Amino acid sequence: MTPNAEKIDVAQGTTVTLNVTSDQDDEIHAHTAGDGYELEVKAGEPATGSFVAADTGSFEIESHHLEKVIAILNVR
């Protein structure tokens, strides 16, 4: 998995875009405030989605299928 728990700094209000390819069906979840943002990924098909980093703090973006943290978004 790449990246693997990489820390990424972004300014509050930034639009964050996820470009994901996977060899298995997955659900990518940005654990931002509230329900966060979820991106459905089909095996072998590139998936793209974006959300606004509206709140400051540290948020995990994880793969629900692998149960691993892909990136940690530090919004300030």
Residues lying near Cu ion in the complex (CB under 5 A): 29
Nearer to Cu ion, 4 or 11 (CB): 4
- Please report the sign of the dihedral spanned by the C-alpha atoms of residue 46, residue 51, residue 57, residue 59: negative
Work out how close the CB of 53 gets to Cu ion at its nearest, in angstroms, rounded to a whole number: 16
Q: Residue 55 CB: number of other CB atoms within 10 A?
A: 12
Return the closest-CA partner of residue 59 out of 43, 36, 41, 39. 36
Work out how close the CB of 69 gets to Cu ion at its nearest, in angstroms, rounded to a whole number: 10
**Position with the least CB separation from Cu ion:** 29
Nearer to Cu ion, 14 or 29 (CB): 29
